[in-house]
Structures are given as C-alpha cells and as structure tokens.
Amino acid sequence: MEGVTGIISAYILAAIRNQRFFSLRELNEEIKKRLHTFNNKPFQKKDGSRATMFAKERMSMLPLPAEPYELAIWAYATVGYDYHVQADGQYYSVPFEYLRREVQIRLTRNMVEVFYDGNRICSQVRLHGKRGQSSTMESHMPPNHRQYMKWDGDHFRQEAANIGANTASMVESILMSYKVEQQGFKTCMALLKLSDKYSPERLEAACSKAFFYTSRPSYKTIQTILKTGQDKPPKEPAPIPDTHGFTRGADYYGGGHN
C-alpha cells in the first residue's frame, strides 16, 4: 500500500510540478483530475485498470464504521467478589458469573469494554470526575441482589432513624462499607429485622453498646450483643440478708434495762 501511494504521489507531482495554483481548492481539483486519470490507466501486463478492479471488489467490501476510530488503553483486572472491576480509579460491574476471573479492559474516552477469553462480555459509559465512583447494571447483579433494586439507601436510613440515632448510624456505617450501596441492603434488612425479634428499644441499645467498643461495628457484633443480653442494664444487687441471731429493739436503748 505504501508503495502504491508513493507511485501515485510521484505521478501527480511530476504532472503538476510546473503549474501555478492560486488557491487550495484549485490545487485539489487538479489533483482529483490527475488521480482519476491514474486510476483509469490500463494495466501493462493484464486487462483492466485500478478503477475496474475496484468496481469488482467493491461489492465484497464492508461499510466504514459508523463512529470514527478512537485510541484505547488496555488493562488487565480480576473481577472482585462484588462483581466489579477497577479501571482508572473507577468501578464498573460485570456479569456476576465472572467472579474472580481475570478479564481485559478496553478504555476509550467515553466507553469501557470488558473482555473475557477474547469475547466482549459487557460495556458501559466511562465515568469521569471524582475517583471511586461506581457504575452498576442491574443485569449484572445476582438474583438475590436484584430484589433490593426497588429500594434505595434512603429507605433503610429512614427505617433506622425511626428506631433511634444509634441504629441510624449503624445502617449508615453498613452502607458506607460497600462500594455499591445495593450490596449492603441485605445486611441492613437483617439488622432492622432484629427489632422484630428483640424489640426496637433493645436494638437501639445494642447499637449504642457496639459503638462504645468500636467506631465500625458489624452486624454480627450487634447480633451477639442481643443474644447475650449485653444491651440490658445491669440488675440491682440483691439485699444482704441479716445473719445475726438476735437484734436489740428500741426499748433496750431507752434505759429501762440498765
């Protein structure tokens, strides 16, 4: 291809080297005319010309891409247990069936494509701006995660706030511990259900107790506190029984027996 380009360039430049042009349009028109002449020039050793050969091959040619070619960056990543991969500081979901698989990521200015074993398994619009953002597609989520899509984080925050400030702080801590909020919904639901089993008051007390021990308690911590009753206030000590054999009454100290 480079050789043909050189031949065409030399042919056209040689033909117009002594001509003078007063505009770029005028030059392009002359080049177009000379190129047409070159393409229709008969071959020396076979029938036809470049123009007739192109007419035959044109029927088998594919159309040009609808979008212009974009430069891309390729990278490797392992799909995490949260079915997301990291690319340029952002997180993108992939079908959960590929957990712990190594995939290839193709990054262009506007798109992120993920490939496994040479096949594209998903694509998403690329995130820009603040690092650590997440893009999650519902179709990539396991079935037990999709059932929570009808809720959002504010639903659980409000339910927790109705119980108490410490329960609300616990729900916020759970949601913040996941890259994608939906992944924490199951734990939030389990936490709030403890109020049905033990009472809202005890759940609030258990959360308060847990935050006394650590700034980031887990659901298991709250569950253990409730099971063992650590959330309950300490019992009043029982009175000490009188172990003496007899007790002198008030009349004795009145002086009547002295």
Amino acid at site 174: I
| Cβ atoms of residues 76 and 87 within 8 Å | no
> Which one is predicted more confidently, 6 or 55?
55
The closest of 8, 9, 11, 30 to 21, measured between CA atoms, is: 30
Q: What is the pLDDT of residue 218?
A: 94
Q: Please state the separation of Cα 184 from the chain's center in Å.
A: 14
Q: Please state the separation of Cα 42 from the chain's center in Å.
A: 60
Residues 212-255 pLDDT 10s: 989 899 999 999 999 999 998 877 666 666 655 555 555 655 55
H-state helical runs in the chain: 2-16, 24-39, 50-57, 143-146, 153-163, 165-176, 185-198, 200-213, 219-228
Q: What is the pLDDT of residue 185?
A: 87
Cβ neighbours, 10 Å, residue 178: 15
Could you give phi then psi for residue 105, rounded to 5 degrees? -120, 130
Cα distance between residue 250 and residue 256, in whole Å: 10
Could you give phi then psi for residue 164, rounded to 5 degrees? 165, 170
Residue 37: pLDDT over 60: yes
Cβ neighbours, 10 Å, residue 111: 14
Residues 117-138 pLDDT 10s: 999 999 999 999 998 888 989 8
Give 82's pLDDT tier (boundaries 50, 70, 90): confident
Task: Tell me the angle at which helices 153-163 and 200-213 cross, rounded to the nearest 10 degrees.
Answer: 100
Q: What is the pLDDT of residue 152?
A: 81
Average pLDDT of span 88-110: 95
Over the chain, what is the mean pLDDT? 88
Q: What is the pLDDT of residue 145?
A: 73
Largest CA distance in the chain: 154
| Cβ atoms of residues 34 and 12 within 8 Å | yes
Residue 12: pLDDT over 80: yes
> Which one is predicted more confidently, 120 or 5?
120
